[in-house]
Structure 1
């Protein structure tokens, strides 16, 4: 039985080679290329540290991307964990007294909604907005 399965597989591979057919569909190749381009070690950390907007962090794609290589990112991008917006000159990174960094826009909105207080989403600690400091990234 095992020999027949091997013979069938050899025939299939020879047929692909003879007619210059790919052994994988174009969709599979494109999906793997996309997942590999987005895959980072963060995608395989604990579930609460995963990015909700990252396709590779979704459970069903995370499993498919497991054997693929990690993406090479030569330039980091900082993203606010609260709003999902990039941290840049229009949304500057701000650090809470407990060391967690979030975007200025999200913290200002939170302070406006909570009478000048900001609540750290990770630790649930409450701080006055006056204690929030700007972070300088080089």
Structure 2
């Protein structure tokens, strides 16, 4: 039986590799979040959420990642020590740079959360830490 379906072969460079050289992936090795299938939780920078690739990507096996990166849902920028994640009272997490842009657009001191439409003061934000 072929290792890859026709759809997988179209977008995966690993399908042309011999079996012993291809990365080993299976659906059992990675957890897929239930949020991935909900339109309100889809991120525009995620290949599985992206319209043209979504149908193909959802059928591909998931691989374990030894290192992951967390990005801001608003700006798509990496959340790290230079652009730390800030938690809003609603529980949503955005990059500091994105929050500062929202604050500047709102007039300073507060901003409107684009997901809940609540007015959020800068003093109500808490920094998040990922281990």
When normalised by structure 1's length, the TM-score is: 0.66
Alpha-carbon distance in structure 1 between the residues aligned to 2:8 and 2:89: 47
User: Equivalent residue of 2:90, what SS?
Assistant: coil
Alpha-carbon distance in structure 2 between the residues aligned to 1:125 and 1:66: 33
For 2:87, the equivalent position in structure 1 comes to 95
Alpha-carbon distance in structure 1 between the residues aligned to 2:111 and 2:11: 40
Alpha-carbon distance in structure 1 between the residues aligned to 2:76 and 2:43: 9
For 1:108, the equivalent position in structure 2 comes to 100
Instruction: Tell me the CA shift for residue 55 of structure 1.
Output: 2.7
For 2:32, the equivalent position in structure 1 comes to 41
Alpha-carbon distance in structure 2 between the residues aligned to 1:56 and 1:101: 21
Give 1:27-106 correspondences, 5 Å limit: 29=9, 31-33=11-13, 41-42=32-33, 44-106=36-98
RMSD (Å) for aligned C-alpha atoms: 2.9
Would you say the 8 A contact 1:32–1:68 is kept in 2? no
Gaps of 5+ in 1: 1-23
Would you say the 8 A contact 1:78–1:87 is kept in 2? yes
Instruction: Tell me the CA shift for residue 33 of structure 1.
Output: 4.5
Would you say the 8 A contact 2:47–2:53 is kept in 1? yes
When normalised by structure 2's length, the TM-score is: 0.69
Tell me which structure has the larger Cα radius of gyration.
1
CA displacement, residues 34-66 of structure 1 (integer Å, 9 cap, x when unaligned): 8x8xxx835842112111122332233221233
Bigger helix fraction: 1
